[in-house]
Amino acid sequence: MLNFSKINILIIYLIFFFISIFSILNFQDKDKQIINKKINLGLDLQGGSYLLLEINSDSLVEEKIQSKVIPIKKMLKENEISYNNFKINKTTLSFDIDNIDKFDLLFTARKDNLINPYIDTYRSYELEYSNIGNNRIEIFFSKFGLLTINNSALKQSIEIVRRRIDDVGTKEPTILQRGEKRILVELPGLKDPERIKALLGKTAQLNFRLVKDNTEFGTEELISDNGEKLNVSKRIVMSGENLIDAQPSIQNQNNEPTVSFTLDRLGSQKFGRTTTDNVGERLAIVLDGEIVSAPNINEPITSGNGMISGNFTFQEATDLALLLRSGALPTPLLVVEERTVGPDLGEDSIKSGITSLIIGFILVILFMLFKYKIFGLIANTALIANLLMLTGVLTILEATLTLPGIAGIILTVGMAVDANVLIFERIREELKTEKSIIHAFDSGYTRAKITVLDANITTLIAAIILFAFGSGPVKGFAITLGIGIVTTLFTAYFLARHLTSIIVLNNKKEEIKI
């Protein structure tokens, strides 16, 4: 194992230098970046905000149960089941029927015994019903149905939260699902947490409605941005789903910040038809139940482009455009927990972590030099190479370093030395029985390999399990530990072994002590 071909030596050192060179990128000037890669500091090291959000699906459940009204009525009519006194509550539908047995058969029929094509929608998987007396039926979502609604809303909310945060430009955010209804958001280095809270706290449900006193759809009174009370039709002309893009802009006439928007083909048709039929009327632009602006329709707008004005500051116009671009949240988000880590605390954590690493590193180096002399120097060289490669890999991955991650690096230092200690102690045993120094070193490396591999592979398995099932800081620890194990094996069995072979082969006729 002490013999290395020139090609092997070239490959070993090319791999080492290629990976290690990336560690230098962490010290480059921001204005003179060669490659835009570096290790990012986590929330506990550079400060920032921690938010735990929870979806409130009550309004979504109400909307979903209302969407079942027409299909259920259609099913009842087509199967000649008479009903009356149909009432819609927040979470239930209730009505009187004349044939409960027939309704029960329809409602609970399986796919292989369908009576009509509508039954599968109302199987007990999603909805349940109960007979509350006097032939009155109450329909509501089952536990499975509620879980499905929550899961769908949570996944959609996570995607929209990610879009909004990415649009703000926050570097390396952590956005994770927590349980059935919660979202964890970590924003390292965030300087304006209140703005993020305001952006995440808005559902951004946008719709366009005509200002009318009387309509067949009914009206409701809403307050405009200037405090004016307006009667607005409940009929939604167009929703925010028809928006393709929204950008902040400045009106040239009076330098007023506005939001310019672009509609898709369907939205353009709806908007064009509405503005053509209602010239002279006012069109209310409603965001989360509040009127942002209510301009007069002076002429038909058929281009698919429009503008929202409302006495905004430029920052407010920018945030409104961001909300519209990212899409509406399916449910409101509530902040159930909030923490802010100051940069001073993060700086203290970095200093403590680096101090621990330096002290441990120096003690290990001194011990190896005292214990193994020249071979201890080789082990220390391999240890430095190991840290350079570990830092290089983390830089390539643009990993986020946390305090547990620093702990993983410190543990890697101990494991790297442990591999060399096992090898050198095995070589000592071989030197007692072998007359050939070369054969003793070769046998030492060969026979220690299984022990070293077993020790490191079992630890690597533990790191993989921690990464798979852990969260946040635990994952950071698992990543640095896992990468450290791989670089430890590389430096111990390639770099350190090659340096050892140079000393042994050059002194093969002399007595070598280890």
Residues 87, 40 within the same domain:
no
How confident is the model over 13-40, as pLDDT tens digits?
999 999 999 998 888 776 666 777 888 8
Q: How confident is residue 291, by pLDDT bands cut at 50, 70 and 90?
A: confident
CA-to-CA distance for 214 and 218, rounded, in angstroms? 7
Smallest CA-to-CA distance from 494 within 443, 456, 449 is with: 449
Mean pLDDT of 212-225: 78
CA-to-CA distance for 445 and 434, rounded, in angstroms? 14
User: How much is the pLDDT for 7?
Assistant: 93
Residues 358, 244 within the same domain:
no
Q: Is residue 181 part of a domain?
A: no
Q: Are strands 40-41 and 400-401 parallel, antiparallel or unpaired?
A: parallel
Residues 301, 360 within the same domain:
no
Range of the domain at 285: 206-307
Residues 447, 414 within the same domain:
yes
User: How much is the pLDDT for 473?
Assistant: 73
Residues 348, 489 within the same domain:
yes
Q: How confident is residue 98, by pLDDT bands cut at 50, 70 and 90?
A: confident
Specify which residues 287 forms β-bridges with: 206, 290
Q: Is residue 499 part of a domain?
A: yes
Residues 361, 486 within the same domain:
yes
Residues 284, 391 within the same domain:
no
CA-to-CA distance for 367 and 374, rounded, in angstroms? 12
Q: Is residue 419 part of a domain?
A: yes
CB 509 within 8 A of CB 437: no
CA-to-CA distance for 284 and 211, rounded, in angstroms? 6
**Within 10 A of 121 (CB to CB), how many other CB atoms are there?**
12
Please tell me the total count of domains within the chain. Answer: 3
Q: Of 146, 170, 186, which residue sits at a domain end?
A: 146
CB 224 within 8 A of CB 294: yes
Residues 259, 396 within the same domain:
no
Mean pLDDT of 479-504: 91
CA-to-CA distance for 151 and 313, rounded, in angstroms? 37
CB 225 within 8 A of CB 292: yes
Q: How confident is residue 123, by pLDDT bands cut at 50, 70 and 90?
A: very low
Q: Is residue 324 part of a domain?
A: no
Would the pLDDT of 301 be above 50?
A: yes
Q: Is residue 95 part of a domain?
A: yes
CB 19 within 8 A of CB 393: yes
Question: pTM for the whole thing?
Answer: 0.65
How confident is the model over 340-388, as pLDDT tens digits?
776 666 677 677 777 887 888 888 889 888 888 889 999 999 999 999 9
Q: Of 146, 164, 192, which residue sits at a domain end?
A: 146
User: How much is the pLDDT for 257?
Assistant: 87
Q: Is residue 402 part of a domain?
A: yes
Would the pLDDT of 1 be above 70?
A: no
Would the pLDDT of 110 be above 60?
A: no
SS3 for 77? Answer: helix
Would the pLDDT of 426 be above 80?
A: yes
Smallest CA-to-CA distance from 102 within 135, 69, 148 is with: 135
User: How much is the pLDDT for 483?
Assistant: 93
Residues 77, 20 within the same domain:
no
Q: What is the CATH number of the domain that holds 232?
A: 3.30.1360.200
Residues 139, 18 within the same domain:
no
Q: Is residue 280 part of a domain?
A: yes
Specify which residues 230 forms β-bridges with: 222
Would the pLDDT of 121 be above 70?
A: no
303's CB contacts (< 8 A; 6+ apart) are 268
Specify which residues 174 forms β-bridges with: 186
User: How much is the pLDDT for 112?
Assistant: 37
CA-to-CA distance for 405 and 100, rounded, in angstroms? 63
How confident is the model over 141-167, as pLDDT tens digits?
888 888 888 888 899 899 889 888 888
Q: What is the CATH number of the domain that holds 117?
A: 3.30.1240
Mean pLDDT of 78-90: 87
Would the pLDDT of 489 be above 60?
A: yes
User: How much is the pLDDT for 389?
Assistant: 94
CA-to-CA distance for 189 and 173, rounded, in angstroms? 10
Longest dimension (CA), the chain: 108
Q: What is the CATH number of the domain that holds 403?
A: 1.20.1640.10
User: How much is the pLDDT for 491?
Assistant: 93
Question: What interhelical angle do 343-396 and 6-21 show, nearest 10?
Answer: 150
Q: Is residue 325 part of a domain?
A: no
How confident is the model over 162-213, as pLDDT tens digits?
888 888 776 668 888 888 889 988 888 776 678 788 888 888 888 889 988 7
SS3 labels along 473-500: HHHHHHHHHHHHHHHHHHHHHHHHHHHH
Torsions phi, psi for 283 (to 5 deg): -115, 120
Would the pLDDT of 215 be above 60?
A: yes
Q: How confident is residue 114, by pLDDT bands cut at 50, 70 and 90?
A: very low
User: How much is the pLDDT for 258?
Assistant: 87
CA-to-CA distance for 363 and 413, rounded, in angstroms? 11
Residues 362, 499 within the same domain:
yes
Smallest CA-to-CA distance from 111 within 125, 98, 94 is with: 125
Residues 440, 370 within the same domain:
yes
The DSSP annotation for 159-224 comes to HHHHHHHHHHT-SS-EEEEETTTEEEEEEET-S-HHHHHHHHT----EEEEEE-S--TT-EEEEE-
Smallest CA-to-CA distance from 447 within 419, 421, 427, 432 is with: 427
Would the pLDDT of 42 be above 90?
A: no
Q: Of 112, 130, 146, which residue sits at a domain end?
A: 146
User: How much is the pLDDT for 120?
Assistant: 40
How confident is the model over 245-261, as pLDDT tens digits?
888 888 766 778 888 88
